[in-house]
Structure 1
């Protein structure tokens, strides 16, 4: 209803068209959205019973009954009796020579125990260990993942292994003869969790979701490219990952290794690659030897082929070594040089010192060359009558 403007002073007026008010008021509620601080009190005190010690690192463990199964850096799989928590004792070790202390396999990074078997992700791939007798565990079967296996999860008749090559699915229905069922070559994968028909893998590229409904043909379902991810845990519709934005830095030293080659056999030239920054995950780096300098070493100085290879840093490992064997000979030649170069680091690592030099010094002498002899005579001359000059 329009109202007309005018200049007359008047009281407040009300307009009505016979309407009535049935609900005259309303209430507004302010919802409290502040976080209340609560004190959480444990129903019982936490007590430290004992500490487990070992020469290397413990990467992972699982407790089943009275036994703790430990994945170790230098001791392989170690089984400890924890029936007395204050005094855990070593019950058995697998692939570990107790008398000499020598390790015959690589490190074990993850272990999962099911029934009489321990499934170990190790430097040699997936290894299935019979633990029916904890004092004498034995190897039942193994599958070479063509690189280190960092983690494994067992679901039914399949082992899902996180390895340097990606996700590998292994048929373990016959523990003595595990076989490849399928693979998803995503590059380095450090952790995997299987939920239903999906495998959630943490990789150097981020979180990857892989459809494993057909184990022989796993396919990408989706990914979250966050960079290097070391761990993954899936709860309901939420995936929690460990993203470390600090990268690893790799450097080679010393700048020059100088020594003779010897006359036979091999003489090792050793270089150290050091990792700093983020060392919690795994990094690999390629290396190769090239001829360099005016007088350069060639393939013959290394047994016929210029050496090359790959270094892999396990979690928390700070240094690895490159050993280059130089072939000894008796050939006379000038001092020769070669260069060792790092390249292609994985999982976001950077190379701060890329190369180092090796110098092979000559230690060979000419054959059948008469030495020079200098004779000093005093007096240098005499007279015929025998008197000296």
Structure 2
């Protein structure tokens, strides 16, 4: 300009320091319902929830896949961005606090134990693992064997091939016990039965209380 000269330093820089802290979201997972039948119409729905701001998308939340059920042979899934027998990933869309993975059991005719599908959150970038960090869904067997023995007494059914039920292959579908012992079940059968074999062979009245086998 006119009437002055530019000295040194001829410029000054001021910095406005950001004082905001970015807090990584915390991710948790739950499943509902917790149990479905393998040939039923209901699925296991795993809901992943994140805390904090939902304005931005969150990608590549890591999962560990476990349980006694096997992906593809025992169930299929929808909702995960990637999924195999051991690992998976889910993504959160911008504006959404939840991400959903649906496990759909594959029906079969094989008598087998109940099986589980366990989805566990694993560590990754841009989030922290919260609680609960794992969810277990159960796929319940609904198949029966052609030679399976079932007893119905007092309104309760006892299945000889289910370890949680009374196992008496000799019994028939009757309110009587056809063992040639003339033993009468006098209890109203309010729970699954346990009993003393000596009570049977001695023609005593039989009270059924807890789980057991002959």
Is 1:289 the counterpart of 2:65? The answer is yes
CA RMSD of aligned residues (A): 3.5
Aligned counterparts of 2:70 and 2:45: Cα–Cα separation in 1: 18
Instruction: Give the corresponding residue for 2:50.
Output: 275
Change (3 A) 1:261 1:242: farther
Higher strand share: 1
Instruction: Give the corresponding residue for 1:351.
Output: 129
Is 1:374 the counterpart of 2:174? The answer is yes
Q: Is the 8 A contact 1:287 1:343 kept in 2?
A: yes
For this pair of structures, how many residues does the alignment match? 133
Aligned counterparts of 1:368 and 1:314: Cα–Cα separation in 2: 52
Structure 1 position 358, deviation (Å): 1.2
Instruction: Give the corresponding residue for 2:31.
Output: 254
Structure 1 position 238, deviation (Å): 8.1
Aligned counterparts of 1:274 and 1:340: Cα–Cα separation in 2: 14
User: Which structure 1 residue ranges, 5 or more long, are not aligned?
Assistant: 1-236, 377-389
Aligned counterparts of 1:240 and 1:311: Cα–Cα separation in 2: 35
Aligned counterparts of 2:25 and 2:146: Cα–Cα separation in 1: 52
Change (3 A) 1:309 1:240: farther
Structure 1 position 332, deviation (Å): 0.7
Q: Tell me, what secondary structure is at the counterpart of 2:125?
A: coil
Structure 1 position 307, deviation (Å): 6.9
Structure 1 position 279, deviation (Å): 2.6
Change (3 A) 1:248 1:370: closer
Structure 1 position 306, deviation (Å): 2.3
Change (3 A) 1:307 1:261: farther
TM-score (norm 2): 0.50
Structure 1 position 370, deviation (Å): 7.0
Aligned counterparts of 1:239 and 1:268: Cα–Cα separation in 2: 53
Change (3 A) 1:273 1:286: same
Structure 1 position 240, deviation (Å): 9.4
Structure 1 position 256, deviation (Å): 7.0
Q: Is the 8 A contact 2:65 2:87 kept in 1?
A: yes
After superposition, the C-alpha distances for 1:169-226 in whole angstroms (9 at most, x for unaligned) are: xxxxxxxxxxxxxxxxxxxxxxxxxxxxxxxxxxxxxxxxxxxxxxxxxxxxxxxxxx
Aligned counterparts of 2:46 and 2:52: Cα–Cα separation in 1: 20
Relative contact order (alpha carbons < 8 A, sep ≥ 6): 1 or 2 greater?
A: 2
Q: Tell me, what secondary structure is at the counterpart of 1:254?
A: strand
Instruction: Give the corresponding residue for 1:196.
Output: none
Aligned counterparts of 1:254 and 1:283: Cα–Cα separation in 2: 21
Change (3 A) 1:308 1:322: farther
Aligned counterparts of 1:239 and 1:311: Cα–Cα separation in 2: 37
Q: 1:340 aligns with which of 100, 116, 119?
A: 119
Which structure's CA Rg is the greater one? 1
Q: Is the 8 A contact 2:32 2:44 kept in 1?
A: no
TM-score (norm 1): 0.30
Structure 1 position 259, deviation (Å): 1.0
Instruction: Give the corresponding residue for 1:330.
Output: 109
